[in-house]
């Protein structure tokens, strides 16, 4: 499996090349709250998503 590597704001981001087209124009953010920390992905390519926001369809 090939991996695409990016340096964004001093952070290294690794995405497998199969997933890369699905994340075009997506915004990935890190959220830290009292209940825990998580990555939040805002994906304009998603046609639907689950209620918890961890999976989506394109």
The CATH code of the domain that includes 34 is 2.60.300.12
Confidence (pLDDT) at 9: 86
Print the domain residue range for 46: 3-57
**Per-residue confidence at 1, pLDDT binned at 50, 70, 90?**
confident
Confidence (pLDDT) at 22: 85
Confidence (pLDDT) at 56: 62
Per-residue pLDDT for 58 more than 80? no
The helix or strand, by DSSP H or E, that contains position 8, with its residue range, turns out to be: strand 3-8
Model confidence pLDDT, tens digit, residues 19-57 = 888 888 988 888 899 989 988 888 888 877 766 655 666
Q: Of the candidates 40, 36, 18, which has an alpha carbon nearest to the alpha carbon of residue 27?
A: 40
Domain count, the chain: 1
The helix or strand, by DSSP H or E, that contains position 17, with its residue range, turns out to be: none
Confidence (pLDDT) at 34: 92
């Amino acid at each position: 499996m090939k991996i695409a590597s990016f340096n964004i704001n001093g952070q290294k981001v690794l995405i497998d090349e199969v997933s890369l087209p699905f994340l075009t124009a997506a915004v990935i953010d890190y959220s830290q709250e009292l209940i825990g920390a998580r990555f939040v992905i805002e994906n304009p390519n998603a046609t639907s998503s689950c209620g918890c926001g961890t999976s989506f369809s394109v």
